[in-house]
Each structure stands twice: as C-alpha cells, then as structure tokens.
C-alpha cells in the first residue's frame, strides 16, 4: 500500500509541476515562437541545430550534446548568423534553463528570416527531468546542471543543482 501512495504522490507532484511550468512560461513568454517538446526533440537531434541561450558559465557546467552557446546578455544576431547555415529553412531549436530567455533569442532569429525556429519547452531542466543526457565543457556526460539561481532551481527535479 505504501508503494501505491508514493507512486500516486509522485504522479500528482509531476502533474502539478508541469501545470505550474505552463503557467510560468505563459506569464513570461509571448509564445510567438512555437515550442518543441523534449519527446519530439529526442527523435530529431541529428537533424537540428541546437542553440543554447544561457550564459557561458551555465553552458560550461552542462549543455545538450552538440549545442552551440550563443548566450543571452550579449546575444548578437550578426555573430550567430555567421555560424548558421545559409539555408534559412534549417531546423533550429533554441533552449535555455526553462524556455524564457530562449524565446527572445529565437525571436531574433525569426526577425532575421529564419523560418523553422523552435523554443524547447522547459529548456535544459525539462531535458534533464526526462532523464536525457547533458554534457560538460569536455563533452563528457554529467549529472550537473547550472540552475541560474536558487529560485529557478525548483524546476530542476533530476540532476545535481549548480548555482555558480
């Protein structure tokens, strides 16, 4: 019976946190960029350009395999375009911790004429929460995830939380 109660609480907590994540993203995002969900991204990672909209210190702790750090505070569309293919229909997924900063970066790409740009719903936190691998600056798998700050860290349910 105890296992059943634990299982029920775990499912309820996960559903609750997903609902709150949806509310958080709705509060901070304009949703002008379509979301791509972790489950969908898992199936296409070889055919997509991944851009990390977090800062370099966050990226060094961990990031999605093959992602390119473009940052947020000093994001430059001019510099970013130089590393992207000339085909403006290339599939690009931008992510950050939760999907808030990445929307701004993705909007910049859309304004520059890129037509196939997505925002990763729940960002690297949701990626890790779904048991996916992240890698460190040496490209080795790691359990560490930079959580931006303690307030945002509540959204990371799996992995080791790093603040600095």
For 64-119, how does the pLDDT look when each residue is reduced to its tens digit (9 = 90+)?
999 999 999 999 998 998 999 999 999 999 999 999 999 999 999 999 999 999 99
pLDDT digits (tens, 9 = 90+) for 25-50: 888 877 899 999 999 999 887 789 99
Lowest mean pLDDT across 26-30, 118-122, 138-142: 26-30
Residue 133: count of CB within 10 angstroms of its CB:
12
The secondary structure of the chain, three-state, reads CHHHHHHHHHHHHHHHHHHHHHHHHHHHCCCCCCEECHHHHHHHHHHCEEEECCCHHHHHHCECCCCEECCCCCCCHHHHHHHCCCCCCCCEEEECCCCCHHHHHHHHHHHCCCCCEEEECCHHHHHHHCCCCEECCCCCEECEEECCCCCHHHHCCCCEEECC
Residue 16: pLDDT over 80: no
Q: Return the exposure string of 102-123: e unless at least 16 CB atoms fall within 10 Å of the residue's CB, then b.
A: bbbbbbbbeeeebebbbbbbbb
Which residues are designated catalytic?
A: 96
pLDDT band at 19 (very low <50, low <70, confident <90, very high): low
* Cβ(92)–Cβ(51) below 8 Å: yes
Residue whose structure tokens are 């080791």: 160
According to the model, what pLDDT value does residue 28 have?
85
What domains can be seen in the chain, in order of their start residue?
30-162 (3.40.250.10)
Per the structure block, which two tokens stand in for 123? 């960002």
Q: Which residue has the higher pLDDT, 163 or 155?
A: 155
């Amino acid at each position: 019976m105890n296992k059943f109660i634990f299982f029920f609480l775990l499912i309820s907590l996960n559903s609750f946190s997903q609902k709150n994540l949806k509310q958080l993203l709705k509060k901070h995002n304009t949703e002008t960029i379509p979301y791509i969900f972790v489950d969908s991204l898992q199936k296409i990672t070889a055919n997509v350009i991944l851009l990390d909209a977090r800062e370099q210190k966050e990226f060094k702790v961990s990031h999605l395999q093959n992602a390119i750090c473009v940052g947020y505070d000093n994001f430059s569309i001019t510099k970013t375009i130089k590393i992207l293919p000339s085909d403006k229909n290339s599939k690009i997924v931008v992510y950050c911790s939760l999907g808030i900063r990445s929307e701004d970066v993705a909007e910049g790409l859309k304004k520059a004429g890129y037509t196939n740009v997505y925002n990763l719903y729940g960002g690297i936190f949701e990626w890790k929460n779904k048991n996916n691998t992240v890698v460190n600056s040496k490209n080795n798998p790691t359990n560490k995830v930079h959580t931006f700050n303690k307030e945002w860290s509540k959204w990371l349910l799996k992995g080791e939380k790093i603040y600095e």
